[in-house]
Structure 1
Amino acid sequence: MKKRLIIHLHIGYWLLVLTQILLVALGTGVMGTQFDWRLFLSIVLPVKVLQTACSALFFYVNYLLLVPYVLKEGSIIKYIGSLLGCILVFSPLYYLMEQIVYPLIGWKSYSMDLDFLFAFFVTLAANFLNIFLGLLLSYLMDWRSIRAEKEVVEKEQLKTELAFLKSQVNPHYLFNTINDIYSLTQQQSEEAPEALLKLSELLRYMLRESDDPYVPLINEIDYLNNVIDLQKIGQKGQSHINFKLVGEIGQQKIAPLILINFIENAFKHGVFKNSEEPIEILITVDRHNFHLHLRNKINMAKKDKTGGIGHVNVKRRLSLIYPNRHELLIDQQSDTFIVDLKIDLYD
């Protein structure tokens, strides 16, 4: 909360207190049955302003000095002692106001003269609520500061974790892609230059756009198209992948590189060389919703000896980026692997 706003809130509070005191004074008939502006402005208003000022002064001595520097850094015994000492200091002020200042203005709160002991108890009674409010406000501000600091730390931790997870996505896929291109160059394939061009486009996307928390959905779709094209080039056209997009893409945005693990996993563990059992990738979008449905036949002969980040990575990223805004279903049957992902793109 900005310092200026806090100051305005404090001023507003004491204006409300003054207004309430004035209304109570008027309601108790201190001016008689007939309202008199002259008496109100010359007597009632000055007295109530001074009373409110005394209460505010006691409040801020307690709130700004006693609570933070005595209670929080010392002990409750020291705080109670300091509070009693503060009341003893303020008692002469209240005595002076009630016995000298207010009568000079034309106001007398009590029909009898006050002694110092009575002034002490009047001071205590008049500021009991201020003591409580000072304690409450001080600890509420501490709680707010701790919460704000915790939110900052959590955001930094979240950014660090997301950056770490994202950094693991790129090498994971690039390792396999570079191996495919290396094989093409070894075979002196004419498709090797095109594959390198596709790879450069992927790297450009990864290095430039994926630093943003969200990217245009169309860019992510183009990235997936390049990944699929590169897969087909690396397999010399023997990759059978049905990639279909349904819906109109406009200004929707999505977290970058959030889908690549599913696609790459299908390439790594799925059957893609059989035209009768292609990898099926269906993306359906509308203004606020994204739906990926991926289905592939499991290649039982493939074993990934090197392991990988896989779905653990993408599940964690989804939970961090889209908490309560996504549904992920991963169903591994005997010979079929299905991924169904829904994301609420509305932000």
Structure 2
Amino acid sequence: MNRRLIIYLHVGYWILVLMQVLLVALGTGVLGTHFDLKLFLTIVLPVKALQTSCSALFFYVNYLLLVPYALKKGNVSKYVISLLIGIFVFSPLYYLMEQIVYPLIGWKTYDADLDLLSAFIVTLGANFLNIFLGLLLSYLMDWRTVRAEKEVIEKEQLKTELAFLKSQVNPHYLFNTINDIYSLAQQQSDEAPEALLKLSELLRYMLRESDDPYVPLANEIAYLVNVIDLQKIGQKGRSYTNFKLEGNIEGKKIAPLILINFIENAFKHGVFKNPDEPIQVLIKIEGQAFRLHVSNKINTAKKDKTGGIGLVNVQRRLELIYPNKHELLISQQNHNFTVDLKIDLYD
């Protein structure tokens, strides 16, 4: 909430207070049985405006001075004494208005002359609600400030955590890819240049689009296809993946690099060199619902001691980016590893 809006709210509140006391005055028959516009403008309105101004002045003395510099400093007794002093200071103001200002404009609210003690009681009664409102508003504003600061800190922490998780995701995959290309280069394979070109496309995507919170789903899927193609090149064609896409991806967006870990994990720990048991990758779009299914036969001969980091990271990223907007089911049965992911894409 910006400062200008807060000022408007304060001004609007005191205008409503003035309107309330004016309506009460009119309802209690101050002007008699017939409405007199001249009497209203020359007497009732000025009197009620003065009374409201005094209430506002007392309110802001309490709200801006007494509460923050006495009560919030932990000195309750100092606040109470300051409040009583404030009432004593304002009592002569009410007394002067009642005895001098109001009679000058033809207004008298009491049959008897108002003494200082009565003025003190009137001041206390007139401002009792204002004292409470000042306390309430002051602590509400503190709560709002603390909450806003907490939200900023939490957002920065989430941003930092996401950046850290993403920094772990990219090198983790690149390490394996570079190893494959290095092997091709050692073997002087004709596919090494194509593999380097694919890798450069992947790096370009990582550098240019991964900093955006959301990217076109078409770009993310193209990135996955490049990863699969690069894997096939690195394995000299002996990498089999059954990739299917169903549904309309136009206009859809998704968090970048949120899917690569599932594909890379299947290559790292799964069987992919058997054409009869290819890695299954199915992407299905149903309205705003994105579904990913990845399944592979577990390669029991592979024991990667550095494995497991990718899936943990992507689960955390999903929790941060799509809270209550995703379902992730990872299962392992009969030597088969399956990932089912559903994301409710944001509009």
Same fold by TM-score greater than 0.5 = yes
Residue 18 of structure 2 aligns with an amino acid whose one-letter code is L
Give the match for residue 226 of structure 1. Answer: 226
Residue 26 of structure 2 aligns with an amino acid whose one-letter code is L
Per the TM alignment, residue 94 of structure 1 is displaced from its structure 2 partner at its CA by 0.6
Please tell me whether the aligned partners of residues 22 and 48 of structure 1 are also in contact (alpha carbons under 8 angstroms): yes
Give the match for residue 254 of structure 2. Answer: 254
Instruction: Please give the alpha-carbon distance, in whole angstroms, between the structure 2 residues aligned to 1:103 and 1:306.
Output: 90
Give the match for residue 143 of structure 2. Answer: 143
Structure 1 runs, 4 residues or longer, greater than 3 Å off:
none
Per the TM alignment, residue 226 of structure 1 is displaced from its structure 2 partner at its CA by 0.4
Instruction: Please give the alpha-carbon distance, in whole angstroms, between the structure 1 residues aligned to 2:233 and 2:219.
Output: 21
Please tell me whether the aligned partners of residues 252 and 287 of structure 1 are also in contact (alpha carbons under 8 angstroms): no
3-state DSSP of counterpart to 2:70: helix
Residue 179 of structure 2 aligns with an amino acid whose one-letter code is N
Give the match for residue 132 of structure 2. Answer: 132
Give the match for residue 315 of structure 1. Answer: 315
Q: Does 1:329 align with 2:317?
A: no
3-state DSSP of counterpart to 2:256: coil
Q: Which residues in structure 2 correspond to 1:93-112 (within 5 Å)?
A: 93-112=93-112
Give the match for residue 87 of structure 1. Answer: 87
Give the match for residue 295 of structure 1. Answer: 295
Please tell me whether the aligned partners of residues 289 and 346 of structure 1 are also in contact (alpha carbons under 8 angstroms): no
Please tell me whether the aligned partners of residues 172 and 308 of structure 1 are also in contact (alpha carbons under 8 angstroms): no
Per the TM alignment, residue 103 of structure 1 is displaced from its structure 2 partner at its CA by 1.1
Q: Percent of counterpart pairs with the same letter?
A: 80
3-state DSSP of counterpart to 1:211: coil
Please tell me whether the aligned partners of residues 92 and 119 of structure 1 are also in contact (alpha carbons under 8 angstroms): yes
Please tell me whether the aligned partners of residues 250 and 287 of structure 1 are also in contact (alpha carbons under 8 angstroms): no
Per the TM alignment, residue 73 of structure 1 is displaced from its structure 2 partner at its CA by 1.6
Instruction: Please give the alpha-carbon distance, in whole angstroms, between the structure 1 residues aligned to 2:341 and 2:45.
Output: 68
In the TM superposition, what whole-angstrom CA distance separates every residue of 1:221-248 from its partner, at most 9, and x where no partner exists?
Answer: 0100000000000111111100111112
Q: Does 1:209 align with 2:196?
A: no
Q: Which residues in structure 2 correspond to 1:160-171 (within 5 Å)?
A: 160-171=160-171
Instruction: Please give the alpha-carbon distance, in whole angstroms, between the structure 2 residues aligned to 1:70 and 1:306.
Output: 59
Which shows bigger deviation, 32-41 or 318-327? 32-41
Per the TM alignment, residue 38 of structure 1 is displaced from its structure 2 partner at its CA by 1.0
Please tell me whether the aligned partners of residues 270 and 298 of structure 1 are also in contact (alpha carbons under 8 angstroms): yes
In the TM superposition, what whole-angstrom CA distance separates every residue of 1:246-278 from its partner, at most 9, and x where no partner exists?
Answer: 112211110000001100000000011111111
3-state DSSP of counterpart to 2:73: coil
Give the TM-score of the pair, scaled to structure 1: 0.99
Instruction: Please give the alpha-carbon distance, in whole angstroms, between the structure 1 residues aligned to 2:317 and 2:212.
Output: 14
In the TM superposition, what whole-angstrom CA distance separates every residue of 1:195-228 from its partner, at most 9, and x where no partner exists?
Answer: 0000000111111110111111111001000000
Please tell me whether the aligned partners of residues 296 and 338 of structure 1 are also in contact (alpha carbons under 8 angstroms): yes
Per the TM alignment, residue 307 of structure 1 is displaced from its structure 2 partner at its CA by 3.3
3-state DSSP of counterpart to 1:245: strand
Instruction: Please give the alpha-carbon distance, in whole angstroms, between the structure 2 residues aligned to 1:86 and 1:168.
Output: 62
Residue 59 of structure 1 aligns with an amino acid whose one-letter code is F
Give the match for residue 38 of structure 1. Answer: 38
3-state DSSP of counterpart to 2:320: helix
3-state DSSP of counterpart to 1:330: strand
Per the TM alignment, residue 310 of structure 1 is displaced from its structure 2 partner at its CA by 2.1
Per the TM alignment, residue 332 of structure 1 is displaced from its structure 2 partner at its CA by 1.1
Give the match for residue 119 of structure 2. Answer: 119
Which shows bigger deviation, 287-296 or 85-94? 287-296
Which shows bigger deviation, 168-177 or 307-316? 307-316
Per the TM alignment, residue 289 of structure 1 is displaced from its structure 2 partner at its CA by 1.7
Instruction: Please give the alpha-carbon distance, in whole angstroms, between the structure 2 residues aligned to 1:286 and 1:82.
Output: 66
Instruction: Please give the alpha-carbon distance, in whole angstroms, between the structure 2 residues aligned to 1:211 and 1:2.
Output: 29
Residue 178 of structure 1 aligns with an amino acid whose one-letter code is I
Residue 9 of structure 2 aligns with an amino acid whose one-letter code is L
In the TM superposition, what whole-angstrom CA distance separates every residue of 1:85-130 from its partner, at most 9, and x where no partner exists?
Answer: 0001111101000111011111111100011111111101110000
Give the match for residue 73 of structure 1. Answer: 73
Please tell me whether the aligned partners of residues 282 and 293 of structure 1 are also in contact (alpha carbons under 8 angstroms): yes
Instruction: Please give the alpha-carbon distance, in whole angstroms, between the structure 1 residues aligned to 2:18 and 2:112.
Output: 26
Per the TM alignment, residue 313 of structure 1 is displaced from its structure 2 partner at its CA by 0.3
Residue 177 of structure 1 aligns with an amino acid whose one-letter code is T
Q: Which residues in structure 2 correspond to 1:39-58 (within 5 Å)?
A: 39-58=39-58
In the TM superposition, what whole-angstrom CA distance separates every residue of 1:293-325 from its partner, at most 9, and x where no partner exists?
Answer: 111111111100233512110000000000010
Residue 284 of structure 2 aligns with an amino acid whose one-letter code is T
Per the TM alignment, residue 77 of structure 1 is displaced from its structure 2 partner at its CA by 1.0
Give the match for residue 176 of structure 2. Answer: 176
Instruction: Please give the alpha-carbon distance, in whole angstroms, between the structure 1 residues aligned to 2:282 and 2:305.
Output: 29
